[in-house]
Amino acid sequence: MRIGIVCPYDWSVPGGVKQHIQDLTESLMELGHYVNVLTPTSDEESLPSYATNAGSTIALPYNGSIARIKFDPAAFTRTRNWLRLGNFDILHLHEPNSPSPSIIAAWSARGPIVATHHTSNETMYAVKNMQFLLQPMMEKVIARIAVSEEAKKTMVDHFGGDAVVIPNGVRVKNFSNAQMLPGFDKEQTVVFVGRLDEPRKGVQVLLEAMPAVFEKYPALKLLLVGPGDVDEILKSIDAKFHSRIQFKGFVDSDVKASCYASGTVYVAPNLGGESFGIVLLEAMATGTPVLASDLPAFKRVLEDGKYGKLFKTNNATDLANSLIELLGNKSEREHLRVEGRIRAEQFDWSVIVRQILDVYESVKSVEGRNVREDFRGQLYGRLTKTGRLDRRRVKNSFLTE
C-alpha cells in the first residue's frame, strides 16, 4: 500500500505526536508498505529518507504546550505537489484541526482520508469558533482514529461524529534491553521524565512530596529527566536535599530508556491534558514499576492499578505515602515489573500497526480509487470536469467480481 502521512509539528522538535508518526512509519515500512511523511522542519538535513519537508515553522502555544507549527501560502503549493507525486492509496492526517499541513492536506485532497486525533483537553476556543469553517473540510475525512477515550471525547465535543479508538504504541524492543545509567542504585532511585517547565507534567507535586520520602530513605536519589530551568526547580525544595537530586536535561530516546531502567520506581505526577500514558508504557517496557496520578487516561493504561500503582492527582501527601510504601515493598515491585512487561507487550507497535492497517483496509475505496487532488472547492473545479462527482455506482462490486 502507498501511504502518505502528514505530521503537523516540526520534525526536529521531539514530541508525542512526532514520535507516534515516526514509530508508525517505521512499523509500516517493516511490513513492506511505501510511506512518505510530509512534515514541517527547521532542520532539513536531519530529516529521514521517508520524510518530505513542508517548510520551516513558527512557535505557537497550543494545548498548554508550545507547538511549532506551519501555516502559510507556500505550504499549499508544497502540499499539492506532494499529493500529486506521492500517488497515495491512503492519506493519513494527524491532529487535523491544528493550523498545519494537516489542514491544508485535508483541504487539497479527496479520496480515502484517515485522521488521528491526539489532543484531549476541555475546550479549544479557537476550534469552537472556527468550526463552521472547518466542518465541510473535516467531512472529507472518512475514518477518524482517537488515541484514547479522552481524545475521542474531546473530538466528539468539538466536531461531533464518531471515531474508533486505537491506542498509542510503544516500541518494546527499544526499551526492554536498556542498560542502567552508571552511578545509580537500582534499589534507591526515583525517576521522573517530562518537561520541567511545563506545569501539567506535575514536577512540582513530586518536589512537594519528596522531602518526606528523602527523610524515610536516606540513600534515595531523585533523577529528573527533561529540559527545563534547574535553578527554578532547586528553589522549590529545601537546600539540604539538593545533593540528592540529579538532572539529565534533554535526552535522546536511547538514553531515556536507560533513565527508565535505572529507576526503582518511575513516577508520573501529571495533572491533566494527557490523552494517553505512553510514558507509562515505556517505563513498563524497561521493567520499572510505575506510580502514576489517577488521571482517566493513566487509569485505563494501568487498568485501575493492576499494572501499576495510582495516587490522587495533584495530592502530594498521597504521592509521598504511596511512594514510601512502594519503595519499602520489594515483592510488590517485582510483581509490578512482571505485570508491566506483559501490559507493554499488548501495546507494542507490531500489534497496534495491524489495527491501523485494518482502518486503512476498511476505507480503501471500493472502486479502488486512490488519493487525488481536490478541485471541487474552487470555482475552476466546479465549472470543469475535474470537479464533478463520479456517479459510478458500484454496488457490491466485491461480490460480483
Partner 1 sequence: METSNWVAIAIGLLLFALYLSNVAGRLDRLHLKVENARNALDRQLALRSAICSDIAGLDLLDAKLRNRLANAIHASISEESLDIHTKNEWDIESEVTKSLCELFDKDFDITKYPNQKNLIQETAGATRRVQYALTFYNDAARSAIKVRRRWLVRSFRLFGRASMPVLIDFDDQIPQGLEFC
In the three-class reduction of DSSP (H, G, I as helix; E, B as strand; rest coil), residue 114 is classed as strand
Nearer to partner 1 among residue 210 and residue 359 (C-beta): 359
Q: How far is C-alpha 341 from the geometric centre of its chain's CA atoms?
A: 20
Pick out residues in 317-356 that bind partner 1 (CB under 8 A): 346, 351, 354-355
Q: Does 376 bind partner 1 (CB under 8 A)?
A: yes
Please enumerate in sequence order all residues whose Cβ is within 8 A of that of 125, keeping only pairs 6 or more positions apart, or say none. Answer: none
Euclidean distance between CA atoms 173 and 345, whole angstroms: 9
Q: Does 397 bind partner 1 (CB under 8 A)?
A: yes
For 299, the grid coordinates are 487509569
Nearer to partner 1 among residue 66 and residue 156 (C-beta): 156
For 50, the grid coordinates are 521517508
What stretch of H or E contains 291?
strand 290-293
Which stretch, 61-69, 76-84, 216-224, 391-399, contacts partner 1 (CB under 8 A)? 391-399
Q: According to CB under 8 A, which one of 84, 87, 160, 380 is a site residue for partner 1?
A: 160
Q: Nearest to residue 54, comparing CAs of 113, 5, 126?
A: 5
Q: Does 359 bind partner 1 (CB under 8 A)?
A: yes
Euclidean distance between CA atoms 267 and 4, whole angstroms: 37
Residue 285 Cβ vs partner 1, minimum distance, rounded to whole Å: 15
Euclidean distance between CA atoms 324 and 305, whole angstroms: 17
Do the strands 113-117 and 34-39 form a parallel or antiparallel pair, or are they unpaired? unpaired
Residue 20 Cβ vs partner 1, minimum distance, rounded to whole Å: 19
Residue 397 Cβ vs partner 1, minimum distance, rounded to whole Å: 7
Which stretch, 187-195, 281-289, 324-332, 390-398, contacts partner 1 (CB under 8 A)? 390-398
Pick out residues in 132-151 that bind partner 1 (CB under 8 A): 136, 139-140, 142-144
Nearer to partner 1 among residue 161 and residue 328 (C-beta): 161
Q: Nearest to residue 278, comparing CAs of 69, 14, 4, 47?
A: 14
Residue 322 Cβ vs partner 1, minimum distance, rounded to whole Å: 29
Can you give the binding site for partner 1, defined by CB under 8 A?
136, 139-140, 142-144, 160-164, 346, 351, 354-355, 358-359, 361-367, 376, 382, 389, 393-399
